[in-house]
Amino acid sequence: MANVRTLFWDVGGVLLSNAWDHEQRQRALEHFHLEEGEFHERHEMVVSRFETGRLTLAGYLERTIFFRPRSFTRGDFTAYLFALSQPKPESLALAQELAERGRWQMATINNESRELNLYRIQQFGLRDLFRVFFSSCFVKLRKPDEAIYELALAMTQREPQECVFIDDREVNLESARRLGMHALHFRSAVQLRQELHKLGVR
């Protein structure tokens, strides 16, 4: 049985809905009647800077939405964007159980822009669950870049085999697995509980 000491969690897609992924962007485009091709071209030009904290939310919206006059305000759009974030109650309950046990160091490795990340941490009480957030906006690295996993290991002073990384996207698990971490592909809270149990995380 593995000697697991640290659990690294993705946030969007595991504990909460995604923050500003394809589904959320599509919903916003439809809600505000925006031209899809134009937006996506502009989004791809700045998303790396946005998610690594080098472009603010205001700057991102200026480049992707408000580069021309709109019939809605920045406040309208921002409020809608934030409201897209929703909890996954069963996953949050599982994380809460494990945090309360106090046997495992709890941390995140997640890709999110600064304003959305801080909002979600506060709104959904994630500071009560996790001791540290290796968020792309803070560390200037994004999954699946191997460097973000190496940084998380170095900063927590853990060996890869002592760590579990949980993500809903297989591509984000590959680097963690290559480094020697236990990589779990999240599909449901029930499935995750069972796989953690096999690793001795009960």
pLDDT of residue 199: 97
Q: Do residues 118 and 161 share a domain?
A: yes
pLDDT tens track for 120-151: 999 999 999 999 999 999 999 999 999 999 99
Q: Please say which residue of 39, 59, 83 terminates a domain.
A: 83
pLDDT-based confidence at residue 88 (cuts at 50, 70, 90): very high
Query: Which CATH number belongs to the domain containing residue 30 in this structure?
Result: 1.10.150.240
Q: Among 61, 83, 105, identify where a domain stops.
A: 83
State the average pLDDT over residues 21-29: 97
Q: What is the mean pLDDT of residues 31-43?
A: 98
Q: Is the pLDDT of residue 43 over 90?
A: yes
Q: Are residues 167 and 187 both part of a single domain?
A: yes
Domain shared by 61 and 137, yes or no? no
pLDDT value at position 1?
63
127 and 37 both lie in a single domain: no
Q: Is 120 exposed, middle or buried (0-12, 13-18, 19+ CB in 10 A)?
A: buried
Examine residue 65 and state whether it is found in any structural domain, yes or no: yes
Please give the mean pLDDT across all residues of the chain: 97
pLDDT for 141 equals: 98
pTM for the full predicted model: 0.95
Residue 1 resides in a domain:
no
Q: What whole-number distance in Å separates Cα of residue 127 and Cα of residue 17?
A: 17
Q: Report whether 175 contacts 145 (CB < 8 A).
A: yes
Range of the domain at 121: 6-17+86-198
Q: How confident is the model at residue 2 (pLDDT cuts 50, 70, 90)?
A: confident
The CATH number assigned to the domain holding 180 equals: 3.40.50.1000
143-175 pLDDT, tens digit per residue, is 999 999 999 999 999 999 999 999 999 999 999
Element (H, E) at 108: strand 105-110
Same domain, 97 and 194: yes
Q: How far is CA 36 from CA 24, 28, 60, 194, in A?
A: 13, 10, 16, 40
Please identify, among 83, 101, 124, the residue that sits at the C-terminal boundary of a domain: 83
